[in-house]
Structure 1
Amino acid sequence: MTDTTETATELTDLASRFPLLHAPQRWTWGGYDAQFSSALPPDELITNIHVVGFSDDRVVLCRDARGHWFLPGGTREAGESVESCLARELREEAGARLTGPPVWIGAHRCVTDNPVPYRPWQPHPEKAWLWGWAEVDVDSAPTNPADGEEVVEVRAVDPEEAGRLLVRAREGWWRELVELAVESHSRP
């Protein structure tokens, strides 16, 4: 996993520029208390991987059968590496492949009040959702496995539109996540 070490001052600056992303959150759908940080968690806590995929400086989004737009990514399987999970999820949800290495921009550290882990091999009650960006090529249709979301549309949009589509049914932190990815992507 590629990591960029940041100073406490840089972490504080990011939190002040992206306050919604860094604010404590309650994800009621999963019973999680979540907190974002650009400090990366240990590999053994990472259960979910998601990426802002850039295709010609446009952000690749997926829309499911319920009409929700989301960034490609998902749950890590038992024994699966972060990179293998990302490659699999990109193919399943976006029909895309990596054309460059992912850059990890942070993670939501989560603690659940559920009595058992989501999957038996996952850490419990603490886990992490890893967020990053990568250059991708949408070169096929999503594979839509039976145990995943039914993706009905994949679209590459400008980053501002991506932020609008992602927040329609969700909290505003999604827009800030895309903004952070765009900022990181534009660095030399």
Structure 2
Amino acid sequence: MTDTTRRASDSVELAARYPALHAPQRWEWGGIDAQFSTDLPPDELVTNIHLVGFTEGRIVLCLDARGYWFLPGGTREAAESVESCLERELREEAGARLVGPPTWIGHHLAVTDTPAPYRPWQPHPVKAWLWGWADVLVDSVPTNPDDGEQVVEVRPVTPEEAQRLLTQRHESWWPELVALAVESRTG
């Protein structure tokens, strides 16, 4: 079996185990049609980076001022590397820092029907949201910049609790994303 055939077989098997994550998505809030893939996107398409951060076997979640739980991450700035964006977003939203390298588990290829990019330097209309996991240390408070989510609580929770809290606001695929990160970390 060739590497390409093995990767294709692995992708089909993951899609069967995580059907909600791999199903076509419509994110109305951004006029976005999105499709998850475990392949990594070209760097120039990555506009958003999000992380399942593990600390002592628990997953770091952030609660915003509106009462929504989310995984830390956010929008890449102009000329910012993926790694710099991840480090900045962890500090801003979770008061956390990486203690190990991130492992990228996939991305959503996103096509927006909005007339202009969210930020002028971003690719448009096709972009990618990169998802990964890493070990982190929560060692300060969120910096809460004015142009970001206002985080009122950072809480390490069990993977099961993370799945439950994330589905209170988000689409049904979020628990599967957490499960994929847990599987990737322990596998």
The interval holding the TM-score normalised by the smaller chain is: over 0.9
Equivalent AA in structure 1 for residue 39 of structure 2: A
* Map of 1:178 onto structure 2: 178
* Map of 1:40 onto structure 2: 40
Unaligned runs of 5+ in 2: none
* Map of 1:163 onto structure 2: 163
* Map of 1:28 onto structure 2: 28
Equivalent AA in structure 1 for residue 63 of structure 2: R
* Map of 1:107 onto structure 2: 107
Partner secondary structure for residue 166 of structure 2: helix
Could you give the per-residue CA deviations for residues 27-64 of structure 1, whole angstroms, max 9, x where no partner exists?
A: 00000000000011100000000000000010000000
* Map of 1:92 onto structure 2: 92
Could you give the per-residue CA deviations for residues 95-128 of structure 1, whole angstroms, max 9, x where no partner exists?
A: 0000000000000000000000000000000000
Partner secondary structure for residue 10 of structure 2: helix
How much has 1:158 moved relative to structure 2? 0.3
Alignment of 1:74-85 (within 5 A): 74-85=74-85
Partner Cα distance (2:105, 2:163) in 1: 17
Partner Cα distance (1:128, 1:160) in 2: 27
Match status 1:63 vs 2:55: no
How much has 1:171 moved relative to structure 2? 1.2
Match status 1:128 vs 2:137: no
How much has 1:87 moved relative to structure 2? 0.2
Match status 1:50 vs 2:50: yes
Q: Alignment length, in residue pairs?
A: 183
How much has 1:170 moved relative to structure 2? 1.7
Tell me the percent identity.
73
* Map of 1:145 onto structure 2: 145
TM-score, structure 1 length as denominator?
0.96
TM-score, structure 2 length as denominator?
0.97
Q: Which runs of 4+ in 1 moved over 4 A?
A: none
Equivalent AA in structure 1 for residue 90 of structure 2: L
Partner secondary structure for residue 127 of structure 1: strand
Partner secondary structure for residue 109 of structure 1: strand
